[in-house]
């Protein structure tokens, strides 16, 4: 892609060709307009035998799977990813002396790349990282890939003129981001080869063949150097639930599976931003080590939940995936369909879309008078074609998360949310007591009860902070 440089309004980013080649970001309206794919095909059945009309109607119904409706959080995530890429380049300006110093440091660290002694001496700040997780079928990967499609991935630099008018000759094939996945039972070396293959696919080079006989330690140094040479701004790693648990060793073994610590040390230490995607199972990997969790969510996190039935997204989604014009005797209103599909699918778009598509296709085999996307029709197809999902959806609906490994981490999330609510209540009480607006110098252990409490004449020990903490579910016995 040819490059046009736009001076960046942020003085910290100005004069960096990697950043100024990105161009202007999309505003929200432009983003939604470009990303939304909600048009259903028009059917022209003129000249088609009537006996085949239903066949071609089903072919149009099949196109429901190509519909994409922008989720409410998508633009916010696009904005974050775009800023992460810019921030990643702040200390990797190809015109800066630090650029060559970093390449030299990586070369010197090739015998022990995990320790990164020479790279560490440069004092580069660790770049931004974030993660997105949620149940399968919520559209996490599709949303991220759609977001990445709005950012130019490959930029071919030849020359750059700085603010003083000086021309700098550049011969750089910049890759703004790469996307890769963690496969179950694949080793760290296999993952490193995937990175090489992704770079090859984007640039047209053949690094995979060139470095085919290198061991994992050497490959780390090679890949780090390529990240700098090609100006890679963001590494997106999908299917992170397949990462292994942390290993208490710095030794790189040939067949060892990829861990979160391995990824963090491989990429983040040289200043490249990282974005992790996975199911809720990845939360248990992060919860074991606070350092890893903190670094992985430095730029925040997004935990996607099942869709709320009255949400803006769900309403727009149902309108898009229910082309009722294909039904010859539609009676059931769209609101009833929306609520019933939500109930059956637990608000998981992938299941909802498949259910609607299968039900509408089935109805086209019936007499025209029976072609109504009704609750009864949805129930019939759900029972016949989606029964394998019923136990998992039932467990999700009732909160029996322990019955399925994929749902287990949701119990932890619920616990976190409940604890957060309790702490908010405690903070509100403490704020009321310690506020200077009503005299200020109250004893913190003698808290007044919040508004609405039945009794206000209890003894001081019953109004103590410890008592309130215990009442709200926090055991502080024995705390110094």
pLDDT over threshold 90, residue 411: no
Per-residue tokens: 354: 């498949």
Helix, coil or strand: residue 226: helix
Position 389 pLDDT exceeds 90 = no
pLDDT in the model for residue 117: 87
Query: Which pLDDT does position 443 carry in this prediction?
Result: 47
Look up residue 417 and give its two tokens: 């949310």
Chain segment 293-311, per-residue pLDDT in tens: 555 555 567 888 889 999 9
> Residue 359 is inside which H or E element, if any?
helix 349-363
pLDDT, residue 7, reads 93
What was the pLDDT predicted at 392?
78
Q: What pLDDT is recorded for position 272? A: 92
Could you tell me if 128 and 295 are in contact, meaning their C-beta atoms sit under 8 angstroms apart? Answer: no
Q: Calculate the average pLDDT of the chain.
A: 81
Q: Comparing 478 with 12, which gets the higher pLDDT?
A: 12
pLDDT at 212 over 50: yes
Task: Specify the pLDDT at position 282.
Answer: 76
Q: Is 201 a residue whose pLDDT tops 90?
A: yes
pLDDT of residue 112: 84
* Bridge partners, 161 (sequence order): 167
Q: Would you state the structure tokens that stand for residue 317, as one six-digit string? A: 């989604």
The residue that leads in pLDDT, 79 or 188, is 79
Is the sign of the CA dihedral 131, 137, 141, 145 positive or negative? negative
pLDDT-wise least confident of 82-91, 118-127, 282-291: 282-291
pLDDT of amino acid 27: 96
Q: Rounded to 5 degrees, what angle do the CA atoms 339, 341, 342 make?
A: 60
168-182 mean pLDDT? 94
Asked whether the beta carbons of 227 and 269 are under 8 A apart, the reply is no
Closest CA to 81 of 135, 35, 145, 18: 145
Which pLDDT tens digit goes with each residue over 7-29?
999 999 999 999 999 999 999 99
Asked whether the predicted pLDDT for residue 424 surpasses 70, the reply is: no
What angle do helix axes 216-229 and 260-267 make, rounded to 10 degrees? 50
Please state the φ and ψ torsions of residue 406, each to the nearest 5 degrees.
Answer: -65, -25
Structure confidence by residue, pLDDT tens digits, 33-91: 999 998 888 889 999 999 999 999 999 999 998 999 999 999 999 999 999 999 999 98
Whether the per-residue pLDDT at 339 is higher than 80: the answer is yes
Tokens at 218, concatenated? 């050497």
Per-residue pLDDT at 471: 40
Q: In terms of pLDDT, which residue wins out, 251 or 95?
A: 95
Q: Is the pLDDT of residue 430 over 70?
A: no
255 band by pLDDT with thresholds 50, 70 and 90: low
Q: pLDDT confidence of 280, banded at 50, 70, 90?
A: confident
Using a pLDDT cut of 90, give the percent of the chain over it. 53
Give the mean model confidence (pLDDT) for residues 395-415.
55
Which carries the bigger pLDDT value, residue 277 or residue 266? 277
Whole-model pTM: value is: 0.78
CA distances from 395 to 282, 309, 404, 405 (A): 20, 19, 8, 11
Note the pLDDT of residue 253: 58
Question: Minimum mean pLDDT among 89-93, 319-323, 355-359, 418-422: which range?
Answer: 418-422
How would residue 428 be classed by pLDDT, with cut points 50, 70 and 90?
low
């Amino acid at each position: 892609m040819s490059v046009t440089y736009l001076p960046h309004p942020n003085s910290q980013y100005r004069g960096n060709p990697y950043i100024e080649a990105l161009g202007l970001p999309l505003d929200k309206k432009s983003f939604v307009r470009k990303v939304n794919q909600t048009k259903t095909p028009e059917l022209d059945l003129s000249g088609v035998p009537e006996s085949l009309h239903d066949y071609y109607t089903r072919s149009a119904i099949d196109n429901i799977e190509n519909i994409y409706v922008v989720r409410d959080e998508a633009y916010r995530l696009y904005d974050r990813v775009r800023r992460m890429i810019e921030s990643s380049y702040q200390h990797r300006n190809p015109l800066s002396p630090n650029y060559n110093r970093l390449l030299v440091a990586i070369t010197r660290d090739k015998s022990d790349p995990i320790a990164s002694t020479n790279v560490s001496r440069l004092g580069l700040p660790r770049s931004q990282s974030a993660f997105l997780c949620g149940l399968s079928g919520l559209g996490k990967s599709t949303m991220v890939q759609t977001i990445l499609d709005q950012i130019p991935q490959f930029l071919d630099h030849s020359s750059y003129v700085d603010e003083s008018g000086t021309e700098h000759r550049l011969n750089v094939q910049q890759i703004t981001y790469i996307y890769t996945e963690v496969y179950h039972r694949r080793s760290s070396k296999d993952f490193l080869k995937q990175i090489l293959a992704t770079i090859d696919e984007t640039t047209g080079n053949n690094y995979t063949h060139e470095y085919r006989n290198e061991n994992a330690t050497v490959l780390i140094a090679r890949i780090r150097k390529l990240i700098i040479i090609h100006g890679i701004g963001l590494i997106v790693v999908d299917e992170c639930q397949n990462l292994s648990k942390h290993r208490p060793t710095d030794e790189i073994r040939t067949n060892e599976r990829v861990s979160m610590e391995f990824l963090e040390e491989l990429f983040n230490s040289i200043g490249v931003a990282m974005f992790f995607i996975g199911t809720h199972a990845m939360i248990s990997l992060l919860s074991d080590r606070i350092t890893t969790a903190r670094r992985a969510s430095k730029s925040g996190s997004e935990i996607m939940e099942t869709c709320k039935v009255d949400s803006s997204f769900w309403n727009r989604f149902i309108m898009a995936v229910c082309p009722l014009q294909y039904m010859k005797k539609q009676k059931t209103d769209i609101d009833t369909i929306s609520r019933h599909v939500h109930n059956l699918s637990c608000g998981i778009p992938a299941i909802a879309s498949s259910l609607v598509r299968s039900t509408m296709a089935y109805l086209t085999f019936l007499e025209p008078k029976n072609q109504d996307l009704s609750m009864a029709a949805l129930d019939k197809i759900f029972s016949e074609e989606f029964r394998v999902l019923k136990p998992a959806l039932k467990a999700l609906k009732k909160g029996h998360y322990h019955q399925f490994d994929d749902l287990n981490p949701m119990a932890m999330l619920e616990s976190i949310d409940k604890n957060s609510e309790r702490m908010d209540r405690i903070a509100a009480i403490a704020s009321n007591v310690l506020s200077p607006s009503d005299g200020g110098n109250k004893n913190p252990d003698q808290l007044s009860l919040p508004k609405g409490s039945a009794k206000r004449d209890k003894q001081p020990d019953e109004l103590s902070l410890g008592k309130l903490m215990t009442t709200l579910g926090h055991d502080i016995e024995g705390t110094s």
